[in-house]
Structure 1
Amino acid sequence: MCGRFTQHLSWEELQRLADLIGQPRNLAPRYNIAPTTQIEVIRPTAAGNELVPMRWGLAPSWWKKPLGALPATFNARAETVAEKPMFRSAFKSRRCVIPASGFYEWTGKPGAKTPHYFSSPDGRLLALAALWESWRDPESDAKVDSATIIVGPANEWMQRFHNRMPVILDWRDVSAWMTGDDPGTLLRPALEDALQEWVVSSRVNRSGVADDDPALILPVA
């Protein structure tokens, strides 16, 4: 799974990697992103790729209850994403990418879990395969765009830490993922050398995201 990640993003880097359109934005760094909070998402449009804020936790257009009644939809399983009612429509026509500086995973027993941080060895942003949807609140009629990260089986390297991992795309495959005719072929484990890892502060273990600072991703002994 992927339950916490980071986005300390540069508009210039994203524009280079994803050919963004639109006016440049100052993007506030985020070091402890949790589900249901706002994230930055790259999605295709007729004019080109745009960067838009969305809720992390997908709400399908047909959902009639309040968002608080949604099950956990911040991750979608690669093996079933094309068939599950919650995700299949978005998989067919609303695929996107969530740029991430890195993500967290935990090892150990409940109550004494050790947080690990994972990022690209060369410092490049990760392109996480994702889906997006638009939903309207049945009471206020407010529109909410939301997204989910697709996760699949871990590669051999990652299995030391967890049996699941986000689907990490090569930036050269982003267009094929978002607009291509055969996206399922890209839902595969990352290459064995795609990530690096180190142990980080147990402050990440706290419930909520009150702590959100660069020290969270620094290695600890």
Structure 2
Amino acid sequence: MCSRFTLNLGDAINLSKRLGIPLAATGETVDRFNIAPATSVTAFRHQPDRGAIEAASLHWGLVPSWTHEDRSSSGPLINARSETVPDKPSFRGPWRQRQRCAIPASGFYEWEKVGRARLPWLFAMSDRQPFAFAGLWDRWQDPVDDTVIESCTVLTTTPNSLLARIHDRMPVLLDETSAPIWLDPQRAPADAAALMRPFDADRMTAVALDPYVNSTAHDDPACLTPRGETPGSQFDLGL
């Protein structure tokens, strides 16, 4: 499961430039240290109306286009198991219509259960480079007042060796080589499915963090404080 992550604005700009995608349309102007579900996230996607890859601001928690009511705040679909997206009613439409997206990130958080405690860990690239979550997006329109919600979900897969002792799932991660394949609507679903695998553990690092990050009310550099250290000694993600 992936339910929280961090994004350095510089990383978002860096990755968007590498992929040749203008970032301005998302409105991102600050670093975000504790991005949670039911908030807006930056995502790269192919926009059929424009025939190009664009950056968009999407609601994190998929609202299927066919649902009769806005479910963005009740039981949001923040994750989707990659093994079952072709068949699950909530996800098979976006999957078949190739509504794939890539959600840029600098790192993501997972929690280790130790007794009654939930101890946070940060997972990031060893070289501190940005990456993206593989996702799906959809567009829902209110049948009453025509309100439109564009939303997304993050795909998950089995964990690599780095995450396996913490959680039984991990997000599907994309780098600057695999992201263009994922975003290309001309690539068949089989090509995209081949990317839905555990990311190479040797290219990742894990840092035990202070429980300060546990609260979604906290969204500041102290979220990156290593466990046992005082705020101000944040893990260097370039943030």
- TM-score when scaled to structure 2? 0.85
Task: Report the AA paired with residue 155 of structure 1.
Answer: N
Identity %: 36
Aligned residues: 219
Instruction: Give deviations 1:75-96, integer Å, cap 9, x for gaps.
Output: 0001101111100111122001
Look up the match of 1:97. Answer: 102
1:48 and 2:35 correspond:
no
User: What secondary structure is seen at the aligned counterpart in 2 of 1:99?
Assistant: strand
Instruction: Describe the SS at the equivalent of 2:15.
Output: helix
The CA deviation string for residues 114-160 of structure 1, in whole angstroms up to 9 with x for no partner, is 11111111111122100111111234311111011000100122212
SS in 2 for 1:20: coil
> In angstroms, what is the RMSD of aligned CA positions?
1.9
- Change in CA separation of 1:188 and 1:26 when aligned onto 2, cut-off 3 Å: closer
In the aligned structure 1, how far is the partner of 2:44 from the partner of 2:23? 12
Aligned to 1:28: 30
Counterpart selection for 1:164 from 169, 172, 192 = 169
- CA apart distance, 1:110: 6.2
Checking the alignment, whether the CA contact within 8 Å between 1:19 and 1:48 is kept in structure 2 is: no
**Partners of 1:133 and 1:194 in 2: CA distance:** 31
Q: Which runs of 5+ in 2 are unaligned?
A: 229-239
Gaps of 5+ in 1: none
Of 81, 86, 93, which residue of structure 1 is paired with 2:85? 81
Q: What residue is the counterpart of 2:9 in the other structure?
A: 9
Mapping of 1:195-210 within 5 angstroms?
195-206=204-215, 209-210=216-217
- Which region of structure 1 is more displaced relative to structure 2, 15-24 or 122-131? 15-24
Q: State which drifts further: 130-139 or 51-60.
A: 130-139
Q: Distance in 2 between matches of 1:34 and 1:26?
A: 15
Go from structure 1 to structure 2 and tell me whether the alpha carbon gap of 1:210 and 1:23 turns closer, same or farther (over 3 Å shift): closer
Greater mean alpha carbon deviation, residues 20-29 or residues 92-101: 20-29
Change beyond 3 A, Cα 1:27–1:146:
same
Find the aligned partners of 1:98 and 1:22 in 2 and give their Cα distance: 12
What is the correspondence of 1:103-122 to structure 2 with a 5 Å cutoff?
103-109=108-114, 111-122=116-127
Q: Aligned-pair distance for 1:204?
A: 2.0
In 2, Cα distance between the equivalents of 1:47 and 1:214?
38
CA distance in 2, matches of 1:133, 1:50: 15
Q: Distance in 2 between matches of 1:109 and 1:219?
A: 17
Instruction: Give every structure 1 segment of 4 or more consecutive aligned residues whose post-TM-superposition deviation is greater than 6 Å.
Output: none
Counterparts of 2:219 and 2:58, CA distance in 1: 19
Which TM-score applies when normalising by structure 1?
0.91
- Please report how far the alpha carbon of residue 215 of structure 1 lies from its aligned counterpart in structure 2 after TM superposition: 1.4
Take 1:184 and 1:171, find their aligned partners in 2: how far apart are those partners?
Answer: 17
